Amino acid sequence: MRIDKFLANMGLGTRKEVKQLIKAKAVTVDGTFVKDSGYSINPETADVRVYDEKIVYKPTIYLMLNKPPGVISATEDHKDQTVMDLLADDVRHYDLHPVGRLDKDTVGLLLLTNDGDLTHQLLSPKKKVPKKYFAHIDGVVTDEDVKAFSEGVEIGEGYITKPGELIILESAPMSKIELIITEGKFHQVKRMFEAVDKKVVFLKRLQMGTLLLDETLAEGDYRELTVEELENLRAK
């Protein structure tokens, strides 16, 4: 692993900050100052120090999955296939969990990690992290729906949603829309459309905070976040 990635993953700063540490001769590997941010180390065995403080290696991992339909976003289930079953052996042994839930039939962006702090940061209602969805809607989606969503709709038990931004891509008997919401109530998007007498027939998550679904990932495929994607997510 590159030394800059290692240090950024261990929470020592952004890639830029980590580079500055290296430039400032603050970083040693096995007793020797590192000059090159791309210097390669074995994180399991290298003795990495910053200002002579040993950095204890705690492997964290961040995977972006393009969730396929028919699998559930849980770590285990006695009946259904879970997103964990899609992972290869080399990442399975990390204690990963999905960041939030997508319904069994929902597809698209799902982050898997073992970083509890980041998970908390992304899911805490206080942080109001925006989530963007694309959907096919059975029914003609109108400007009244846009207005209703912008004011909040009742989705059951008297709960009124926070404002959502509804973008109509195609208003037709089978409409196409995008919706940005900052909450993650159970079946939230489906229930918001039920509140205006329409039905979600296809739902895909495109974005969570700054993280965009990599459309080159086929459904069921995943990849590690880039250093930049991780930095941006953490910064929010």
Bridge partners, 133 (sequence order): 179, 205
Closest approach, Cβ 106 to ligand URA, in A, equals 3
Nearer to ligand URA, 12 or 203 (CB): 203
We find the least distance from the C-beta atom of residue 188 to ligand URA, in angstroms, to be 4
CB of 184 to ligand URA, least distance (A): 7
| CA-based radius of gyration for the chain | 21
Q: What are phi and psi of 114, to 5 degrees?
A: -115, 15
| Secondary structure class of 129 (helix, strand, coil) | coil
Measure the CA–CA gap between 118 and 114, rounded to whole angstroms.
Answer: 9
Catalog residues that contact ligand URA under the rule CB under 6 A: 102-103, 106, 187-190, 203
Q: Amino acid identity, residue 231?
A: E
Choosing from 95, 103, 117, 143, the catalytic residue is: 103
Shorter beta-carbon distance to ligand URA: residue 7 or 203? 203
Q: Which of 96, 105, 80 is nearest to 205 (CA)?
A: 105
Contact between 14 and 8 (Cβ < 8 Å): yes
The minimum distance between CB 132 and ligand URA, in angstroms, equals 11
- Nearer to ligand URA by Cβ, of 66 and 188: the residue is 188
Angle (deg, nearest 10), helices 227-235 and 116-123:
50
Q: Which residues pair with 175 in a beta bridge?
A: 137
Residue among 106 and 161 whose Cβ is closer to ligand URA: 106
Is 103 one of the annotated active-site residues of the chain? Answer: yes
Task: Enumerate the active-site residues.
Answer: 103
